[in-house]
């Protein structure tokens, strides 16, 4: 079957690697997620709509997707700079800075949420200043969610870009310089296109991770219904009330939405790759 599926290649190992991939993916991801969908399918259509598209749930989709997108976009921008600086430049404390990037993964999300709230609330280190200088309230508002989601997404972008920057061939840049391109032109026309696929990957990972984040957000968002209540919180709420079917219905909607988004990004990425080749 695999032979019809793929185009001819002289490289070995397709059956083995493809086999492992499919087997492992089915065992760890597909079968458990199928259980979620089947549980949700126990609802009638109108029950499903009532659970997954009520006014309050719709409001939560809006705030969740918007803040996740903003957080991922911020990370794509600063993450690109950070990855470039960490890979290409050497400065005092360079290794420490590199080490710090992984912190969002290592800190339990609850701790991250509590610390961020401490820093960005009105009596916190940064929050006090932001409040006085700009009248900005970060903790217990949409901004707080955005801060938490930016925090948890950063390593995705940086760590996806770093190995690609590491492997960039200096000859390309040298050639561009020799041909009279300014440094800026080289960066923009030669380097950036090569980084674009990885940047898109990093963005999509940060974005999808942000969509599902719960632990850190509940501490900083304030959880006000219709305003700062995120979808994962609503899922938990339904689980707490033993409404597994309704909870899985909302989860299924989130899942399908993010699957489609990821698919679009992956297609974009392949397109970007083809263009550079």
3-state secondary structure of 160: helix
Is residue 149 a contact point for other proteins (CB under 8 A)? no
Is residue 40 a contact point for other proteins (CB under 8 A)? no
Tokens of 120: 């960005």
> Which CB sits closer to other proteins, 145 or 251?
251
Query: Which one among 29, 49, 66, 175 touches other proteins, defined by CB under 8 A?
Result: 29
> Which CB sits closer to other proteins, 12 or 45?
12
> Which CB sits closer to other proteins, 39 or 45?
39
> Which CB sits closer to other proteins, 15 or 136?
15
Burial class (CB in 10 A: 0-12, 13-18, 19+), 264: exposed
Q: Show the CA angle centred on residue 121, arms to residues 62 and 78, nearest 5°.
A: 60
Restricted to residues 97-136, the positions that interact with other proteins (CB under 8 A) are 97-112, 114-119, 121-126
User: Are 150 and 73 a contacting pair, CB within 8 Å?
Assistant: no
Cα–Cα distances in angstroms (integers) from residue 72 to residues 85, 162, 171, 215, 226, in the given order: 19, 17, 32, 18, 23
> Which CB sits closer to other proteins, 15 or 192?
15
Is residue 248 a contact point for other proteins (CB under 8 A)? yes
Residues 152, 158: Cα–Cα separation, whole Å: 12
Is residue 245 a contact point for other proteins (CB under 8 A)? no
Provide the minimum distance between the beta carbon of 203 and other proteins in the complex, in angstroms, as a whole number.
Answer: 12
Is residue 145 a contact point for other proteins (CB under 8 A)? no
Is residue 12 a contact point for other proteins (CB under 8 A)? yes
Is residue 61 a contact point for other proteins (CB under 8 A)? no
> Which CB sits closer to other proteins, 17 or 49?
17
Query: Which one among 76, 143, 145, 147 touches other proteins, defined by CB under 8 A?
Result: 147
Restricted to residues 161-200, the positions that interact with other proteins (CB under 8 A) are 162-164, 166-168, 170, 173, 177, 183, 186-187, 194, 197-198
Provide the minimum distance between the beta carbon of 270 and other proteins in the complex, in angstroms, as a whole number.
Answer: 6
Is residue 67 a contact point for other proteins (CB under 8 A)? no
Phi-psi region of 89 (alpha: psi -120 to 50; beta: other; left: phi over 0): beta
> Which CB sits closer to other proteins, 189 or 241?
241
Burial class (CB in 10 A: 0-12, 13-18, 19+), 60: buried
Query: Which one among 61, 69, 140, 146 touches other proteins, defined by CB under 8 A?
Result: 140
């Amino acid at each position: 079957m695999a032979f019809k599926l793929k185009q001819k290649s002289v490289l070995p190992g397709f059956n083995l690697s493809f086999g492992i991939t499919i087997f492992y993916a089915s065992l760890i991801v597909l079968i458990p997620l199928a259980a979620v969908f089947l549980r949700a399918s126990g609802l009638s259509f109108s029950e499903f709509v009532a659970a997954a598209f009520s006014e309050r749930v719709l409001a939560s989709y809006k705030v969740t997707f918007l803040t996740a997108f903003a957080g991922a976009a911020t990370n794509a921008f600063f993450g690109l700079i950070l990855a470039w600086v960490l890979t290409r430049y050497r400065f005092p404390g360079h290794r420490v800075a590199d080490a710090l990037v992984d912190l969002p993964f290592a800190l339990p999300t609850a701790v991250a949420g509590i610390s961020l709230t401490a820093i960005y609330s009105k009596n916190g280190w940064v929050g006090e200043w932001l409040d006085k200088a700009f009248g900005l309230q970060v903790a217990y508002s949409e901004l707080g969610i955005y801060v938490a989601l930016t925090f948890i997404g950063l390593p995705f972008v940086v760590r996806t870009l770093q190995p690609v920057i590491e492997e960039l061939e200096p000859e390309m840049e040298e050639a561009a310089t020799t041909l009279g391109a300014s440094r800026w032109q080289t960066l923009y026309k030669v380097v950036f296109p090569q980084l674009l696929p990885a940047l898109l990957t990093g963005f999509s990972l940060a974005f999808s991770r942000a969509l599902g984040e719960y632990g850190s957000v509940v501490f900083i968002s304030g959880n006000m219904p219709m305003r700062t209540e995120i979808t994962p919180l609503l899922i938990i709420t339904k689980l707490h009330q033993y409404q597994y079917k309704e909870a899985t219905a909302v989860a299924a909607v989130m899942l399908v939405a993010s699957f489609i988004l990821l698919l679009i990004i992956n297609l974009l990425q392949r397109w970007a790759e083809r263009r550079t080749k």
